[in-house]
Amino acid sequence: MATFQVSSIFCLMGSPDQMRFPKGGAIKATTNNAPKFQVSPISLPKLPSRSLVDNLDITSNGFKIPSNNSANHSDDPMVTSKLYAIMEAIADRVEMHKNIGAQRDNWNHLLLMSINAITLAAATMAGIAATTCAVTTGARAPFMALKLSSTILYVAATGMLVVMNKIQPSQLAEEQRHAARLFKQLHAQIQTTLSLHSENTMVDVNEAMEKVLALDKAYPLPLLGEMLDKFPKTVEPTIWWPKQNHRRAQGAEGKLIDGNGWSQKLEEEMIEVVGVLKSKDVPEYLNLTEKALKINRVMAISGPILTGLAALGSAFVGSSGTYGVWGVMAGVICGALASVVNTLEHGGQVGMVVEMYRSNAGFFRLMQETIESNVKEKQVERRENGQVFEMKVALQLGRSLSELKHLANFSEKFASKLF
């Protein structure tokens, strides 16, 4: 028989619910020739009161996500929620613009084929009516049927052409394609901001909201009351961004201090790039836009006039004397010319070319304003990092860093162009 004398029992330090046994209590066990042990008191270290979960870094997709109590991460959960809500709205807009762009592209193809088919059918009927009138002078019923059918088809083609030339489906489709691309770009920017785990504030939320609303205004979805003017009196670049420099406060005047990736030489290079964009690229694309717009305007007016003349001519088919002769010629020739003009305008998608040039001019205007807003900020720590910014400008202009450095000196050779 052996007796184990327990002088103290394990206890949790600082625990409110402590389990105690009477001092000197004995626990007996039956063993054979077992030695006698004296167990000395043991005290456990005091556990930290902070939750263990607060000390852990949760990882997701290779990024460390600090806990909410971590001092390295002070994002407001409400700000993050609002940014995610904006991202959801942007994703919905991307899908809407893609679907509506495809629909309006179908409009262009279907209306083009339908109007050409109607116009050519009317021209054929006018020619057959004139032949029927000359051969069978006694039978008036087939002649009148062909003549009236030709006139009705020409009138219908004229009305459809007026509507089609007014809305310019190919230009509408290009607007939606461009809007979908820009919304995708904005979605990626917000996603990058959240992935970097920077300290997002309501300023970021307001900035994202302004960009979404500016894009909605630049590329509206509705046609009635909201559609952009397809034949403006003055040509301007497409503006799809909010006013620049609204987050940047002007610092004190003085010499630029190197820092944040910026130097005096880099600032001078950026000023030279702005000069090239302002003097060459933006005016060049505005000039191309104006030329394409003039061609489109001439074709948009010529098409309905030709079909209208053809309708008037077909109404005089079979008349006696000079009216009958000119009626047949107008009914057939003007109808054929209208088909050619309609094919060149909408088959060649001249409206899409106009919008493409306007968007390119807007792109270079945005580059110009972005560079100016950074250069005008005198406090270099408030600017975007100079080296990153230089790389962005070079990539967006399609140049290497060495070509960007010599862009101003060789502006004629290395003029920035997308197409």
Exposure b/e, 358-396, CB count within 10 A at least 16 = b: bbbbbbbbbbbbbbbbbbebbebeebbebeebbeebbee
Q: Decide if pLDDT at 213 tops 70.
A: yes
The answer to whether the beta carbons of residues 241 and 366 sit under 8 Å apart is: yes
Task: Give the largest Cα separation in the chain, rounded.
Answer: 145
> What one-character-per-residue DSSP string does 205-265 give?
HHHHHHHHHHHHHHS-S-STTTPPPSS-SS------SPPTTSSPPP---SPPPPBTTB-HH
Question: How do residues 281-313 score in pLDDT, each as one tens digit?
Answer: 899 999 999 999 999 999 999 999 999 999 999
Question: How do residues 312-339 score in pLDDT, each as one tens digit?
Answer: 999 888 777 788 788 889 999 999 999 9
Q: Decide if pLDDT at 177 tops 90.
A: yes
Percent of the chain with pLDDT over 70: 73
Q: Decide if pLDDT at 413 tops 70.
A: no
Give the three-class secondary structure for 71: coil
**What is this structure's pTM?**
0.73
Residue 113 binned pLDDT confidence (cut-offs 50, 70, 90): very high
CA distance 223 to 166: 11
Highest mean pLDDT among 54-58, 366-370, 402-406: 366-370
Mean pLDDT computed over every residue of the chain: 78
Sign of the torsion angle spanned by Cα atoms 353, 358, 364, 366: negative
- Measuring CA to CA, which residue among 306, 345, 303 is closest to residue 108? 345
Q: Decide if pLDDT at 195 tops 90.
A: no
Looking at residue 269, its pLDDT comes to 87
CA distance 234 to 290: 8
Question: What is the average per-residue pLDDT within 118-140?
Answer: 79
β-pairing, 58-60 vs 63-65, is antiparallel
Question: How do residues 12-40 score in pLDDT, each as one tens digit?
Answer: 344 444 444 444 444 444 444 444 444 44
Question: What is the average per-residue pLDDT within 262-279?
Answer: 87
Q: How crowded is residue 399: how many other Cβ atoms within 10 Å of its Cβ?
A: 17
- Measuring CA to CA, which residue among 72, 335, 317 is closest to residue 196? 72
- Measuring CA to CA, which residue among 175, 65, 143 is closest to residue 327? 143
- Where are the domains positioned within the chain? 77-237+262-409
Looking at residue 318, its pLDDT comes to 77
